[in-house]
Amino acid sequence: MTIVDVQNVSIKYSTREVLERVNLDINSGEIAFFLGKNGSGKSTLVQTILGMHENYHGSIELFGQPRNDEIISERVGYVPQYSRVDRDFPITVSEIMQLSCRKHAKCSVSAVGHLKYLDSESLIDKSVSQLSGGQFQRVLIARSLVNDPDLLLLDEPFNNLDYETRKRLENLIVKLNLEKGMTIVIVEHDNSLIDKLTKNTANNKDEFEDLKIRKFRFDNKTVMEEKT
């Protein structure tokens, strides 16, 4: 099944065209990497898929239907770039998780349970403004999983994470993909994470072969699929 279907999409910021006539599809159970330098349109396409950027032409479908707020709310998880999130808002980690759970019809585990994915349950009562960069990134990742999404969009999710937390997240990505069949889109600059996932995270040859990885290169307003 096609989970994300982008057809002939061109995106603008004001009068500046960021992407031109993009065509790509992402199928169920795949891990798709959006690769390219800063400003190449990777995050812009993710935000457009999510309905956060409306200055575009073309067709975007999710799960075989025209993209709409209900589908995004119920079936999609999203981790924005760390730098795009306001940390000064007076709210605790617990409140962030509870608000996310109330927003969605299904919450697969408790707020603390989601935080346990990245060994972060001790942060539950802290104010967001008190968190370090790495701690806050872990909270954003946990929040993205509250609705047990079928599609997970991660925009540079490894920023600000220490080595041990990076390893936990690498393993979590593989677990969510192989055990839950979650389709995952990851925005990164280069191939280094792909190499880590395929060489270091998969525990055996069969698990490695089960990973369905695709790479899309963003450059000069275009998107091209690369061989893995």
Cα–Cα dist 113/49, whole Å? 28
All structural domains of the chain:
2-203 (3.40.50.300)
In the chain, % of residues over pLDDT 90 = 50
Global confidence as pTM:
0.90
Describe the crossing of helices 133-143 and 93-103 by its angle, rounded to 10 degrees. Answer: 20
pLDDT above 80: residue 68: yes
Q: Which residues, 6+ apart, have CB-to-CB distance to 46 below 8 Å? A: 34, 78, 153, 155, 185, 187
Q: Is the dihedral of CA 225, 74, 180, 98 positive or negative?
A: positive
Task: State the Cα–Cα distance between residues 47 and 53, nearest whole angstrom.
Answer: 6
Specify the amino acid at residue 80: P
Chain centroid to CA 16: 25
- Tell me the mean pLDDT in the region 132-136: 88
Structure tokens of 161? 């994470």
Q: Write down the pLDDT at residue 105.
A: 54
pLDDT of amino acid 182: 97
Q: Pick the residue with more confidence: 27 or 204?
A: 27
- pLDDT tens, residue by residue, 185-213: 999 987 777 777 766 555 555 565 678 99
- What angle, 0 to 180 degrees and rounded to 10, lies between the N-to-C axes of helices 133-143 and 163-180? 10
Which band of pLDDT confidence, cut at 50, 70 and 90, is reported for residue 29? very high
